[in-house]
């Protein structure tokens, strides 16, 4: 195991995790606690659900792991700016920034309000960018790493999720560029491209009008657990990897889309027929 060595051995390492109150975010925290050797570690847990977040922070403290809770709405630009200011005031360095918080929608593009698209873009794209920029001095001081939880939807279209695909595509392009621009400064970037993971992001998916999507989610390939995914991400980080892809049908689909896009889209329509009929009112 190769623990990133930018921080001196006797220094407190700081791990900032968004969407930390549950799902993959909390699984990432648990995986980090389990995988890392004994050292002074401090977690900055960020989520919109204040009650659940405080419970998570307290559970870490009971295990003698330092943890701070920051309640923030990452869809609000001013809230993200204020959060960055609080984090800068609290921590001199950030060894790891995990941009995990995310939202999605399940609705046809023509039936999705601008407000929903803007909210998805704010949480899934703007907030990670603003956090990485706002904490860049702390990341550089630690020789730290930014882990972005993207999606295979950033590589290929997924029907009924146009706004989500757009946000994840933008995240991919921004941080692939960012990584190379900051490489000589000692800051790393790990882009994670999961397929389908069993978390609350799809349970809480928005409908086109901003309510809760009522129809069942369509999937391709195996649905992985959050713990399984979190352990893979931590190992990729410790190994110094820059990209982590799934090894299932979604990766095959990405290649098929590049080589034969029309064939890919026909198969996508077939796989998502039940969901498409539901959002079109045909079910």
The arithmetic mean of pLDDT across residues 25-49, rounded, is 90
Kindly report, residue by residue over 197-208, the tens digit of the pLDDT.
655 566 677 877
In this structure, of 154-158, 162-166, 277-281, the range with the lowest mean pLDDT score is 277-281
In terms of pLDDT, which residue wins out, 273 or 65?
Answer: 65
Residue 11 has pLDDT above 90, yes or no: no
Fold of 13-279: Rossmann fold (3.40.50)
What pLDDT score does 271 carry? 74
Residue 263 has pLDDT above 50, yes or no: yes
Domains in the chain: boundaries: 13-279
Mean pLDDT score across all residues of the chain: 86
Kindly report, residue by residue over 162-220, the tens digit of the pLDDT.
999 999 999 999 999 999 999 999 999 999 998 766 555 666 778 776 666 554 554 55
Helix, strand, coil percent values for the chain (each to nearest 5): 50, 15, 35
The arithmetic mean of pLDDT across residues 139-159, rounded, is 93
For CA atoms 15, 18, 24, 30, the dihedral sign is positive
Cβ 150 vs Cβ 171: under 8 Å: yes
What pLDDT score does 251 carry? 72
Q: Which two tokens stand for residue 136?
A: 């860049």
């Amino acid at each position: 195991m190769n623990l990133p060595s930018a921080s001196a051995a006797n220094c407190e390492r700081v791990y900032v995790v968004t969407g930390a109150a549950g799902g993959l975010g909390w699984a990432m925290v648990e995986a980090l606690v389990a995988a890392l050797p004994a050292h002074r570690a401090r977690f900055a847990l960020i989520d919109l659900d204040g009650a659940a977040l405080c419970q998570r922070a307290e559970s870490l403290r009971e295990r003698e792991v330092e943890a701070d809770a920051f309640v923030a709405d990452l869809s609000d630009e001013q809230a993200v700016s204020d959060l960055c200011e609080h984090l800068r005031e609290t921590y001199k360095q950030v060894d790891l920034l995990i941009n995990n918080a995310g939202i999605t929608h399940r609705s046809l593009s023509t039936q999705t309000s601008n407000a929903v698209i803007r909210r998805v873009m704010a949480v899934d794209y703007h907030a990670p960018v603003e956090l990485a920029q706002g904490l860049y001095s702390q990341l550089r001081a630690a020789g730290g790493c930014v882990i972005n939880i993207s999606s295979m939807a950033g590589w290929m279209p997924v029907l009924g999720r146009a706004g989500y695909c757009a946000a994840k595509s933008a995240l991919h392009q921004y941080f692939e560029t960012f990584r190379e621009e900051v490489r000589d400064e000692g800051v790393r970037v790990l882009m994670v491209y999961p397929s389908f993971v069993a978390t609350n992001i799809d349970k809480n998916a928005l409908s086109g009008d901003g309510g809760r999507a009522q129809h069942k989610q369509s999937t391709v390939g195996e649905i992985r657990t959050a713990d399984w995914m979190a352990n893979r991400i931590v190992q990729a980080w410790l190994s110094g990897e820059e990209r982590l892809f799934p090894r299932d049908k979604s990766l095959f689909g990405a290649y098929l889309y590049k080589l034969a896009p029309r064939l890919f889209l026909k198969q996508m329509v077939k796989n998502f027929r039940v969901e498409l009929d539901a959002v079109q009112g045909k079910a």
